[in-house]
Amino acid sequence: MQYDVTIIGAGPGGIFSAFELTRLCPGLHIAVYEAGHPLEKRRCPIDGKTVKSCINCKTCSIMSGFGGAGAFSDGKYNITNDFGGTLFEHIGRSEALELMKYVDEINMSHGGEGTKLYSTAGTRFKTLCIQNKLNLLDASVRHLGTDKNFVVLQNLYAELKDKVDFFFDTPVEHIEVLPDGGYRIRSAKDTVDTRFCIISVGRSGSKWMETVCRDLEIPTLSNRVDLGVRVELPAVVFSHLTDELYESKIVYRTEKFEDNVRTFCMNPYGIVVNENTNGIITVNGHSYEDPSLRTENTNFALLVSKHFSEPFKDSNGYGESIARLSNMLGGGVIVQRFGDLVRGRRSTVKRIEEGLVHPTLQATPGDLSLVLPKRILDGIIEMIYALDRIAPGTANDDTLLYGVEVKFYNMEVELDEHLESRYPGLYVIGDGSGITHSLSHASASGVFVARDLKSRQAL
Ligand SMILES: Cc1cc2nc3c(=O)[nH]c(=O)nc-3n(C[C@H](O)[C@H](O)[C@H](O)COP(=O)(O)OP(=O)(O)OC[C@H]3O[C@@H](n4cnc5c(N)ncnc54)[C@H](O)[C@@H]3O)c2cc1C
């Protein structure tokens, strides 16, 4: 065997597996294969001037490379079992929380010190939300910010680079189970044999992960996609909440259809950005820790989960079709004023220019009612009015809605309580496993398998 452990994917899951393995077992031969670039070479060509929209690079620098999908993210590490994944279902609630706290400590000792840890514990907003039919979920959130998140990744790489063999721009193509134990990993550049393998390929590796599960007959489950819009409004409208909690995860049950609509990924004083998933442009957001990089706006997503029952199985395909529709009409992301949406008319460049909220993303003014299914749109409008009761101004005519925001869920891979597949020593972690959907859960799953390898596999 050339390697003791081969890790596929250098996102938070892969990085924290490598970090913990090198700490627990120095001298181990570890390889990390990453489809994307090293951190310093990651650069999205969209500059808003010469390149205004996605040009479909061979590997997307936003989603791939050292740091994974989280590298340019807002760096919000939510320490909670209430959202961000279902890791606790496999490893238990207290262990999952402990691991998330451990990840936080590592981040703090690698450049994140000084950043704020927010908490919903004992907040007065819980009561205010309940009085208005809104449910504020419990969490602690460490906000690293896009700038500090990058520094933490730089420091982690500096610490790992001499202990681990990194292969960048090298997607793994095939995994073969060896008859006498171990795995043969074929990449775009070479083939190596390894005793253990940790797959951590995130959202961008979801299609490849499907082929691995098909080839190796690993059972999977898939039935959920989240659809909605990103809301952008003056930061003062939400500042009483964001100053105290930073991110408030609020759930609203609609009166019309009894669907749950929730806030997601709140970015105080932040910017709205494009996201490219397999060539489809959707919307996302982030913000900076550095006050000089702040804007006057806050943005967050409002999402509705769509679960499908038999016979339909392709929930991500459904989300993709709706995102494609918005791309077809708008050439990318569509933006609409809330006032235009409720009046049943499209937004225009002029109406947006005359509005109170200056968009932080250049998107095409249009009509989201031509894109989103009525039931989902009705739920979002209801929730905007509900939020207006705790944050007056949310339902202003000039509030901007960008669409569509889609949260794709990887199919869930069948794994045991060690996050091990039906093949001994073949682990699947992070968002690629379908079990996690966040930086903290993905990172925690990486630490978990490293410790599991050390304790159970006699490394
Ligand atoms: C713009 C944006 C903002 C976000 N903001 C937040 C936030 O503030 N807080 C939060 O909790 N979450 C956030 N997320 C989600 C978060 O980034 C992910 O949950 C997290 O990165 C998952 O980590 P991971 O290691 O499982 O996967 P990823 O980070 O997706 O990493 C997987 C890596 O595997 C590589 N890969 C894929 N296929 C292969 C292959 N075949 N061979 C080799 N390598 C491969 C990919 O290139 C990628 O680098 C955000 C995501 C985006 C896109």
pLDDT for 92-103, tens place per residue? Answer: 999 999 999 999
The predicted pLDDT at position 96 comes to 98
Distance 34 CA to ligand 1 centre (A): 12
Q: What is the mean pLDDT of residues 410-419?
A: 94
Q: What is the mean pLDDT of residues 35-59?
A: 85
pLDDT for 152-197, tens place per residue? Answer: 999 999 999 999 999 999 999 999 999 999 999 999 899 999 999 9
The predicted pLDDT at position 244 comes to 92
Distance 158 CA to ligand 1 centre (A): 20
From 203, 230, 275, 433, give the residue whose CB has the most ligand 1 atoms within 8 Å, as the site to mutate. 203
Distance CA 245, CA 125 (A): 9
The predicted pLDDT at position 91 comes to 97
pLDDT for 231-285, tens place per residue? Answer: 999 999 999 999 999 989 999 999 999 999 999 999 999 999 988 877 789 999 9
The predicted pLDDT at position 105 comes to 98
Distance 203 CA to ligand 1 centre (A): 6
Q: What is the mean pLDDT of residues 136-145?
A: 92
Is residue 435 scored above 80 in pLDDT?
Answer: yes
The predicted pLDDT at position 414 comes to 96
Q: What is the mean pLDDT of residues 427-441?
A: 96
Distance 69 CA to ligand 1 centre (A): 3
Distance 84 CA to ligand 1 centre (A): 13
Is residue 217 scored above 90 in pLDDT?
Answer: yes
Supply 137's token pair: 């979920």
pLDDT for 345-388, tens place per residue? Answer: 999 999 999 999 999 999 999 999 999 999 999 999 999 999 99
From 73, 208, 288, give the residue whose CB has the most ligand 1 atoms within 8 Å, as the site to mutate. 73
In the chain the first and final C-alpha atoms are separated, in Å, by 14
Contact 427, 197 (CB under 8 A): yes
CB neighbour list of residue 224: distance below 8 Å, 6 or more residues apart: 305, 306, 307, 308, 315, 409
The predicted pLDDT at position 227 comes to 96
| Pocket, ligand 1, Cβ cutoff 6 A | 8-14, 33-36, 64-65, 68-70, 73-76, 78, 84, 171-172, 200-205, 208, 265, 275, 284, 286, 430-432, 437-440, 442
From 39, 59, 64, 185, give the residue whose CB has the most ligand 1 atoms within 8 Å, as the site to mutate. 64
Q: What is the mean pLDDT of residues 142-153?
A: 94
Q: 405: closest CA among 279, 273, 246, 307?
A: 273
Distance 369 CA to ligand 1 centre (A): 30
Query: What does pTM read for this prediction?
Result: 0.86
Distance 68 CA to ligand 1 centre (A): 4
Is residue 219 scored above 90 in pLDDT?
Answer: yes
Distance CA 113, CA 88 (A): 27
Distance 447 CA to ligand 1 centre (A): 16
Residue nearest to atom 17 of ligand 1 (CA): 70
pLDDT band at 1 (very low <50, low <70, confident <90, very high): confident
With pLDDT > 70 as the criterion, what percentage of the chain qualifies? 99
For the beta carbon of residue 25, count every other beta carbon within 10 angstroms.
15
